[in-house]
Chain A
C-alpha cells in the first residue's frame, strides 16, 4: 500500500490537504471503536478527489479530521503546510474560515441570512473587506451557480437544489485552499444532484480549485479525478479517472468482503 509521506503526489503536484498515519479512536477501553486505522493520503491541489467506502469505513471521519472539524487520536493532518494538531480551537476556527470551504449534506445555510449574505458569511465573519478582485470573483461565482435573481431571498424560499448551489458558492467564495463536500447530493433528486456535481467539477477544472468529496454514490464519484477507497478505517485503493461502473464494481468487491467481516466504526 502506498504510504505517501511527501506533500507532493506522484505527479509532483503539491497536496492541498493530507493526513499521515491518521488514527481516530472513539470512546475508550471496552467500547473503543477505531474509525481510522493509520490512514495516509494526500489530496492534490487543483484536483477533485472523492472518498468512498461502505458505511462505517471511516470516510466521513477522514474528511472531518482532514478539514479541522475533528482531531486525530494520533498521526497528523495538514492543510497546505499547516499541521492541524498544533492549533487550538481558535486557530483551527480561523483556518477553517480562511482556508477551507464546506458543503454539507443538508442544513448548509443560516436561515436568517439572505443568499448573498450566506455566500459571503466566512469573509464577513473574518471582517474582511472585499477588494476589487474579490468582488469580481464572488460576482462570477454567483453567475456560475445561476442564482443572481435569488440573491436577496432567504434559504427557506429556495428549493433543496438551489440551497446546495448557494452552499457551493459559499464554499468557494473565499477562494480557500480546499473545499470539503460531505455527501453534497445526498438529499437531492438526481437532476439537482447532477447540477451540484457539475458545479464542483467546473470549479476544479475551470477555476483551478481543490475539492475533496465524501460520497457513497458511484455516479457522484465518477465526477472526480480520482477516487480513494476506505474500508474498516484503512485506505484500501485509489482509482484514477473513475467511471460509475468501475466504481460500482470496486464497491461490490467490498460488499463480498464485508459480508465476512463485522461492521466497523461509524461513518
Chain B
C-alpha cells in the first residue's frame, strides 16, 4: 500500500491492510506460533495418515481377494446362516461332496471341487503354536485346480499322501518351518504333518496374518469335518462363454434344499467386506477417535496461544484503533494470522500424514504384518477432510481472541500492557455449577435409575464441559492447594512459581484443560481396563470351581480349540475327580442366533458354580436343554416347557427345558448335551476344560498330571485358577498399551501447549525476571521457578483429568453393567493411576524445560531495560 497515495476506505483496502499487518506480525513473532503450528500439524497428520492408510489397506485387500479368487465363478454352500450376538460371521452348514458329481454335469461347468475349511493350528519349530491367539488359523484341503485355489504353490509340491501339507509362506517363516520339516497340526486333535510345499495368497505371503494349512482331500475331510464326505463349499469354474450369473442360474435348479449357489464375485466381496469392511472400519474409526481427541486438545492450546498473544498486543492493537483501524479490521487481522498459520500447518500436516502412511507401509512388514504392496491411495476426501478440519480447528480456536482484539479500546494504548488477570466471573461459576449438577443428575439417572448408555454418555459429555467451564474457578484454589508444599520444599523459588501459576486463572485453566482432557481419557481407559480385569477375575472366582483350566480361544478366532477327547482322557487320571470340556454350538432360539454350550451337564454342575439350579442338570438326554433363569424369564419358559431350536442344517428340533440355573458367566445361557449336538455339529472342538482334583492331590502334582495328558493333544497350556483369570485379562493389557500409545499424541500436544504458554509468559515477564536476577536469583533458581510453574499447571490438569477420567470410567462401567447381562465390576487401580499422575507431573517438568532454559538465558541488563 502506498503511503503517499490516497487511502482507500473500501473493504478491499481495509482487508489488504489487515492482511499486511497480520503477515508482518507473523513474521515478527514466528516463535509464538510454533506451538500452534505443531499442534495443528500433528493433529492433521494423524488424521490424514489414518485416512490414507485406511484407503490403501482397503484397496489392497480388495485387490488381494480379487486376485486370489479370480478363477472361482460360483460358490455352492449351505444357505442357512446363524449368527450369534457379538460374532461377525455366521455359521453355515456343510455341503455333501457328492454334489460335486452332480454339479460337474451341469452345462457350462468346467470344473467343480469341494473346499474343506476348518481350523488348524501349526506348531512352530520352537514348540509354540504359530499365530498365537490372534488372527484365524485356517486349514483345508489343497485344491489341485490352481484356478479354483486361492493359494498358489510358490515352492515345493502339492500334498499327495496323507500327512503331507502345504503351508502359507508367512506362517512357515514365523514358525521357522522349511520344506521337509515335520510338525504337529492341531485340528484340535494333534496330527503329525510334513511340510511339502509353501504357498502365497494373492501374491502375498499370506492373507494378512492368517495362517493356512492345505492337506489332502481325504485328510481334510477326516480331521476337519464332522464326518467324511462333507465340505464347507464347492468351488465351481465356468467353461468358456459362461458368465458367473449364468452359471449360478444353471446350478440353482440342481441343488438340494438348503444349499445355494452365489457368484464368485459375490463370495469374494463378502470375504473382502469381512476384512476391510469390518476390521478396517473398526480400526480406522478407532484411530479417528484418537485423532479427534488430539485435535480437541489442540483446540485448547491454540485458543490459549491466541488469547495470550492478543492480550500482549493490547497496546499495539489499541494504537491501530487510535490511528483509525475499525474493529473489523483488527479482528480480521488476528483471524488472518490464524488462517495463515492454519493453512500452512495443515498443509504440512497433510504431507506428514502421507509420510506416516508410507512409514507404516514400510514398518508393517518389518513387524510381520504383511501390508500389501502397492501405491498409497490418496483420495480427495483423505486430503480435503483433514485440511478442512485443521483450518476449522485453528480458526475457530482463534475466533474469540480475535473478537476480543477488535474490542480493544483505543485508550488502552496509553495504559500499561494489560495481562488478563481477572479471576473467574460469577456467571462462569454459576453456569459451570449448573452444568456439573446437570451432568451428575443425567449420569445418575443413566446409570442407576433407568440404565441407558445414551443418558450416561450425555452426562459424561456434560461433565467434560462442566470441567472446562469450571476450570478457571477451580484453578486458583487447586494451584494454591497443590502448590502448598512447594513453599516449604523450595522456599521462595517455589512460592514464586506458585504465584506465577496463580497470576491468570483463565490462562492456567485453559493450559491445564488440554492436559486434563488427555489425562482424563488415559485414566478412563485405565479404570475401564482394570474394571474389565476385575470383572473377569470375579467371574472366574465366582463361577469356576475347578482346580485347573485348559483353555484356548474359540474356533475361528485364532487357535484351534481343544480336542473334545481331552476331557475324557484327563478324567481317567487317578489324580482327577472330574474333567469337563465345554464346546460351542449355535442354534436359533425364538428366531435369534444363540450360542449353545455343548458339554456333559452333570459334570458341568460339579465343576462350575451354576448358582441355584431348578430341575436337574443330569439327564438332559438328547432332547433336553438347560437355560439360565434370566433367558428363561425373557422367553417365559419354565422347567418342563418345550422350546424349539433351529440348527444350521435347517433342522428344527423341540427340546424340553429340564433345568434352570442362576449363573451364566462361564457356562453360557444354553446348555445341551454332546449327544443332542452331534447331528448338527461342524468341526468339533472344546474351548475350555475344567479339571477338579481328587482330595489330597496337590496343586503341582495335579497340574503335572493334566499337562502330561494334554501333551498328547497338541500340548495346550494348563493353568491354575489364578493363571486362568489372568490370561483371560491378558488381551486387555495389550489393548491398553495400544490406547496409551495413541493417546501419547494428545498428551504431547497438551505439553506443547504448556510449553508455549510458559514461553509467552516468560516473554511477558522479561523485566521481572531481570529484576529477580539482579537482586540475586541464580540461573538455577530461575529455571527451577519456571519448571515448578510448569509442574503446577500440569498437576492441576492431571488432577482434574484423574478425577474426570475416574468419574467417566465409573459411568462407563456402570452403564455397561446396566445395559448388558453380565455383571461388571468397578475397580480403581491405585498403582496405574499413581503412574498416570507421576507421568503427568514429569511431563509438566519436561514441558517447562525449554521455557526455563530460555528464561535463564535472558541477559539481566537487557531484561531490566525491556519495555
The interface of chain A, by Cβ under 8 A from chain B, is 64, 69-70, 89-90, 93-94, 96-98, 102, 104, 107-113, 117, 121-122, 124-127, 170
Are the C-beta atoms of B778 and A90 separated by less than 8 Å? yes
Report B-chain residues with C-beta under 8 Å of the C-beta of A125.
492-493, 772, 775-778, 781
In this complex, what residue of B is CB-closest to A120?
B492
Q: How far is the CB of A177 from chain B (nearest CB, A)?
A: 13
6 extra interface residue pairs, beta carbon distance < 8 Å, beyond A90-B778, A97-B778, A107-B768: A89-B779, A96-B774, A112-B499, A117-B492, A121-B772, A124-B492
Given contacts A112-B496, A112-B499, contact A96 B776 (CB under 8 A): yes
Residue among A89, A102, A107, A121 making CB contact with B492, cutoff 8 Å:
A121
Asked if B767 lies at the interface with its beta carbon under 8 angstroms from chain A, I say yes
Given contacts A69-B860, A104-B771, A107-B771, contact A112 B503 (CB under 8 A): yes
Cα A18 to Cα B778 in complex, Å, equals 24
Asked if B434 lies at the interface with its beta carbon under 8 angstroms from chain A, I say no
Residue among A69, A93, A112 making CB contact with B777, cutoff 8 Å:
A93
Are the C-beta atoms of B776 and A97 separated by less than 8 Å? yes
Q: How far is the CB of B312 from chain A (nearest CB, A)?
A: 16
In this complex, what residue of A is CB-closest to B416?
A156
Asked if B864 lies at the interface with its beta carbon under 8 angstroms from chain A, I say yes
Report A-chain residues with C-beta under 8 Å of the C-beta of B256.
none
In this complex, what residue of B is CB-closest to A99?
B776
Are the C-beta atoms of A96 and B775 separated by less than 8 Å? yes
Asked if B773 lies at the interface with its beta carbon under 8 angstroms from chain A, I say yes
Q: How far is the CB of B831 from chain A (nearest CB, A)?
A: 36
Asked if B839 lies at the interface with its beta carbon under 8 angstroms from chain A, I say no
Most central of B775, B778, B779 by chain A CB within 10 Å: B775
Q: How large is the interface on B (under 10, 10 to 19, 20 to 34, 35 or more residues)?
A: 20 to 34
Residue among B502, B767, B778 making CB contact with A94, cutoff 8 Å:
B778
Can you give 17 A-B contacts (C-beta < 8 A)? A69-B860, A70-B861, A90-B778, A93-B779, A94-B778, A96-B776, A97-B775, A102-B774, A108-B771, A110-B768, A110-B771, A112-B496, A112-B499, A124-B491, A125-B493, A127-B491, A127-B492
Report B-chain residues with C-beta under 8 Å of the C-beta of A98.
776
Report A-chain residues with C-beta under 8 Å of the C-beta of B491.
124, 127
Cα A109 to Cα B775 in complex, Å, equals 10
Q: Which of B485-503 contact A (CB under 8 A)?
A: 491-493, 495-496, 499-500, 502-503
Report B-chain residues with C-beta under 8 Å of the C-beta of A127.
491-492
Report A-chain residues with C-beta under 8 Å of the C-beta of B864.
69, 104, 107
Given contacts A64-B861, A110-B771, A113-B496, contact A126 B776 (CB under 8 A): yes
In this complex, what residue of A is CB-closest to B767?
A107
The A interface is mostly helix, strand or loop, or mixed, namely helix
Report A-chain residues with C-beta under 8 Å of the C-beta of B775.
96-97, 102, 121-122, 125, 170
Cα A203 to Cα B503 in complex, Å, equals 35
In this complex, what residue of B is CB-closest to A93?
B778
Report B-chain residues with C-beta under 8 Å of the C-beta of A97.
775-778
Residue among A69, A90, A93, A170 making CB contact with B861, cutoff 8 Å:
A69
In this complex, what residue of B is CB-closest to A98?
B776
Q: How far is the CB of A127 from chain B (nearest CB, A)?
A: 5
Report B-chain residues with C-beta under 8 Å of the C-beta of A109.
771
Q: How far is the CB of A79 from chain B (nearest CB, A)?
A: 13
Cα A58 to Cα B180 in complex, Å, equals 93
In this complex, what residue of B is CB-closest to A97?
B776
Q: How far is the CB of B766 from chain A (nearest CB, A)?
A: 10
Provide the B748-782 mask, 1 if CB < 8 A to any CB of A, else 0: 00000000000000000001100111111111110
Sorted nearest first, the 3 A-B pairs with minimum C-beta distance are: A97-B776, A112-B499, A124-B492
Are the C-beta atoms of B767 and A110 separated by less than 8 Å? no
Cα A97 to Cα B781 in complex, Å, equals 12
Most central of A64, A70, A97, A117 by chain B CB within 10 Å: A97
Report A-chain residues with C-beta under 8 Å of the C-beta of B780.
90
Q: How far is the CB of A5 from chain B (nearest CB, A)?
A: 27
Report A-chain residues with C-beta under 8 Å of the C-beta of B773.
93
Report A-chain residues with C-beta under 8 Å of the C-beta of B495.
113, 117
Cα A90 to Cα B779 in complex, Å, equals 7
Are the C-beta atoms of A113 and B499 separated by less than 8 Å? yes
Report B-chain residues with C-beta under 8 Å of the C-beta of A126.
776
Cα A96 to Cα B777 in complex, Å, equals 9
Cα A12 to Cα B500 in complex, Å, equals 48
Cα A97 to Cα B773 in complex, Å, equals 9
Cα A265 to Cα B500 in complex, Å, equals 37
Q: How far is the CB of A125 from chain B (nearest CB, A)?
A: 5
Cα A113 to Cα B496 in complex, Å, equals 8
In this complex, what residue of A is CB-closest to B856?
A89
Report B-chain residues with C-beta under 8 Å of the C-beta of A108.
771
Q: How far is the CB of A265 from chain B (nearest CB, A)?
A: 14
Cα A110 to Cα B781 in complex, Å, equals 15
Q: How far is the CB of A236 from chain B (nearest CB, A)?
A: 24
In this complex, what residue of B is CB-closest to A126?
B776
Report B-chain residues with C-beta under 8 Å of the C-beta of A124.
491-492
Report B-chain residues with C-beta under 8 Å of the C-beta of A113.
495-496, 499
Cα A170 to Cα B772 in complex, Å, equals 12
Q: Which of B457-511 contact A (CB under 8 A)?
A: 491-493, 495-496, 499-500, 502-503
Q: How far is the CB of A174 from chain B (nearest CB, A)?
A: 9
In this complex, what residue of A is CB-closest to B782?
A93
Cα A122 to Cα B776 in complex, Å, equals 6
Q: How far is the CB of B28 from chain A (nearest CB, A)?
A: 23
Report A-chain residues with C-beta under 8 Å of the C-beta of B767.
107
In this complex, what residue of A is CB-closest to B492?
A124
In this complex, what residue of A is CB-closest to B496?
A112
